[in-house]
């Protein structure tokens, strides 16, 4: 295997910020450039790659850069077959796919010009005609080849079909001009034929998250050619002083913990190297406001329990970086009530104490969860557990009647989850949840406390 060195670029900086190297044995390493380390606006690429001289050896570098590749197999498989590359040849794959990494980073052959630059609405985008948009959505829905000239949506992480596009100031959809390097502003997620209501479910869940005061990405269910898709505003975009669209550096919790995408669930790791609450605590304590970040994570955890989202894994939580390396928790995104799908597991992405499902959550499990987040006072932990569970449950219960108009099963699921959690904690159950039907699964089962 030949030596391979690649420039690592971060949108907003003129020069490469570092070098990613593969040696003759296939091991990889990463090191920051000295000029970048001396820049007062420099931010680390990851909490797992602090701003030091380095270099970072294979384990740390491999985990972070592997996360820049897509999770779905389409473009990866094509490049692997065409170039004769193995899946673990991260550098070789990024040589061909690195210009389209998700976010503000790009990994390019050494000496290449920047592949990502700010986007000018007037110059850098071409509107997408309605019939072309409908063809794109239909192809994503049916899992068939995209229309001619449309790139595979491989830069986006996750296993759902989705494509990145831009919404112009006049509301029209557009795509960046080929070769412009301009950012997109939105993600269009398209469910497959077996999950036609997922866009509606996720839109409702994210709307509830916002209504309860949690910082959440904007998302709207959008019918396109008879197929309902989900339009999500990207939280990792901003505007510069010239009004151009710019990318904001972000990383997900898998990257921050130095875990590959394959270890995004706690159950796939081992103690000391997994997505668990003790690891999450380490991330939250490095943000600019650890107390607020912990509060937001606690709220997200209880909210997900109650709306039936068992897929809040390490790649569905993220951090946003500010100039100078300040880090804050990103808005929530990818909140789907997975318990509505009987084919999916109800096992939680990370344990709450010893509890691995909602039905196993007890006062002692919640107490252990709060303790793992660093809350030492036992009486304080009990008060917090009772307060957060009650406040979020009662707030959700107040929206059940409105939710029932379009999504009765979802409303029934939330009510059943409220009864289960509050019952276990011996908290009064709100009338709106107590009086609802039990949640009926399509498999014929039912869930209630």
Compute the distance between CA of residue 69 and CA of residue 362 in angstroms, rounded to an integer: 38
74 assigned to some structural domain? yes
DSSP string covering 38-57, please? T-TT---SBTTB-SSS--B-
Shared-domain flag, residues 38 and 164: no
346 assigned to some structural domain? yes
> Which value, to the nearest 10 degrees, does the dihedral of the CA atoms of residues 240, 42, 108, 320 take?
-60
Q: How many domains, in total, are found in the chain?
A: 3
CATH of the domain at 156: 3.30.200
> Which value, to the nearest 10 degrees, does the dihedral of the CA atoms of residues 265, 268, 270, 273 take?
-50
Compute the distance between CA of residue 439 and CA of residue 109 in angstroms, rounded to an integer: 54
Scored b (16 or more CB within 10 A) or e, 323-348 reads eebebebbbbbbbbbbbbbeeeeeeb
221 assigned to some structural domain? yes
Whether the Cβ atoms of residue 359 and residue 308 lie closer than 8 Å to each other: no
Output the pLDDT for position 444: 43
Whether the Cβ atoms of residue 425 and residue 393 lie closer than 8 Å to each other: no
Shared-domain flag, residues 299 and 443: yes
Shared-domain flag, residues 66 and 101: yes
Shared-domain flag, residues 37 and 69: yes
- Residue 127, beta-bridge partner list: 174
Which of 75, 109, 143 is the last residue in one of the domains? 109
Output the pLDDT for position 49: 95
Cβ-proximal residues to 316 (8 Å cutoff; 6+ apart), any chain: 252, 333, 334, 349
Global pTM reads: 0.92
- Residue 223, beta-bridge partner list: 228
Output the pLDDT for position 340: 95
Output the pLDDT for position 149: 67
Shared-domain flag, residues 21 and 165: no
Shared-domain flag, residues 320 and 383: yes
Compute the distance between CA of residue 180 and CA of residue 123 in angstroms, rounded to an integer: 9
Output the pLDDT for position 154: 35
Output the pLDDT for position 73: 58
Shared-domain flag, residues 296 and 439: yes
From first to last of its 449 residues, the chain has per-residue pLDDT tens of 889 999 999 998 999 999 999 999 999 999 999 999 999 999 999 999 999 877 999 999 999 999 898 765 567 888 899 999 999 999 999 999 999 887 899 999 999 999 999 999 999 999 999 999 999 999 999 888 877 766 543 345 444 688 899 999 999 999 999 989 999 999 999 999 989 999 999 999 999 999 999 999 999 999 998 999 999 999 999 999 999 999 999 999 999 999 998 999 999 999 999 999 999 999 999 999 999 999 999 999 999 999 999 999 999 999 999 888 899 999 999 999 999 999 999 999 999 999 999 999 999 999 999 999 999 999 999 999 999 999 999 999 999 999 999 899 999 999 999 999 999 999 999 999 998 878 877 654 444 33
DSSP string covering 89-158, please? -HHHHHHHHGGG-STTEEEEETTPPPS---B-TTTSEEEPPHHHHHHHHHHHHHT-PPPTTPPPSTTS-S
- Residue 301, beta-bridge partner list: none
Which of 109, 139, 159 is the last residue in one of the domains? 109
Whether the Cβ atoms of residue 5 and residue 19 lie closer than 8 Å to each other: yes
Shared-domain flag, residues 293 and 438: yes
Shared-domain flag, residues 89 and 145: no
249 assigned to some structural domain? no
Shared-domain flag, residues 439 and 385: yes
Give the three-class secondary structure for 30.
strand
CATH of the domain at 346: 1.10.1070
Q: Which domain holds residue 217?
A: 125-233
434 assigned to some structural domain? yes
Compute the distance between CA of residue 167 and CA of residue 133 in angstroms, rounded to an integer: 12
Upstream peptide bond of 55 is cis (omega within 30 degrees of 0): yes
Output the pLDDT for position 150: 65
Distances (CA, A) of 301 to 33, 49, 171, 295, 308: 39, 27, 34, 10, 11
Compute the distance between CA of residue 45 and CA of residue 53 in angstroms, rounded to an integer: 13
* Cβ atoms < 10 Å from Cβ of 322: 13
Output the pLDDT for position 159: 46
Compute the distance between CA of residue 174 and CA of residue 237 in angstroms, rounded to an integer: 16
């Amino acid at each position: 295997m030949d030596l391979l060195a690649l420039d690592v670029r971060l949108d907003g900086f003129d020069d490469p910020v570092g070098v990613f190297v593969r040696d003759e044995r296939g091991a990889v390493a990463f090191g920051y450039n000295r000029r970048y380390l001396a820049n007062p606006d420099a931010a680390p690429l990851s909490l797992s790659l602090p701003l030091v001289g380095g270099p970072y050896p294979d384990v740390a570098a491999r985990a972070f850069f592997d996360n820049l590749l897509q999770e779905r197999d389409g473009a990866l498989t094509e490049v692997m077959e065409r170039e004769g590359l193995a899946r673990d040849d991260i550098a070789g794959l990024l040589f061909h796919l690195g210009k389209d990494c998700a976010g503000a980073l790009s990994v390019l052959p050494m000496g290449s010009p920047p592949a990502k630059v700010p986007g000018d609405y007037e110059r850098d985008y071409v509107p997408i005609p309605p019939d072309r948009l409908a063809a794109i959505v239909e192809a994503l829905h049916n899992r068939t080849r995209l229309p001619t000239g449309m790139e595979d949506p491989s830069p986006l992480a996750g296993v759902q079909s989705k494509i990145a596009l831009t919404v112009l100031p006049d509301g029209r959809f557009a795509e960046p001009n080929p070769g412009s390097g301009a950012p997109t502003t939105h993600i269009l997620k398209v469910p497959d034929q077996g999950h036609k209501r997922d866009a509606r479910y996720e839109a409702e869940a994210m709307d509830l998250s916002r209504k309860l005061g949690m910082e959440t990405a904007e998302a709207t269910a959008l019918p396109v050619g008879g197929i309902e898709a989900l339009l999500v505003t990207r939280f990792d975009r901003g505007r510069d002083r010239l009004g151009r669209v710019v990318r904001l550096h972000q990383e997900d919790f898998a990257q921050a913990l130095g875990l590959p995408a394959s270890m995004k669930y706690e159950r796939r790791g081992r103690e000391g190297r997994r997505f668990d609450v003790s690891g999450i605590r380490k991330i939250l304590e490095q943000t600019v406001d650890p107390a607020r970040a912990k509060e937001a994570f606690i709220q997200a955890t209880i909210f997900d329990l109650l709306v039936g989202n068992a897929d809040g894994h390490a790649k569905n939580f993220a951090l946003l970086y500010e100039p100078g390396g300040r880090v804050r928790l990103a808005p929530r995104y990818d909140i789907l009530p997975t318990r509505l799908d009987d084919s999916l597991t109800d096992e939680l992405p990370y344990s709450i104490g010893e509890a691995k499902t909602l039905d196993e959550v007890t006062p002692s499990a919640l107490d252990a969860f709060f303790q793992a987040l660093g809350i030492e006072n036992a009486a304080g932990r009990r008060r917090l557990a009772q307060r957060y569970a009650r406040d979020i449950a009662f707030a959700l219960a107040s929206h059940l009647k409105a939710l029932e108009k379009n999504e009765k099963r979802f409303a029934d699921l939330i009510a059943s989850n409220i009864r289960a959690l509050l019952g276990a904690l011996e908290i009064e159950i709100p009338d709106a949840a107590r009086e609802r039907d039990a949640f009926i699964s399509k498999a014929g089962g039912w869930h209630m406390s």
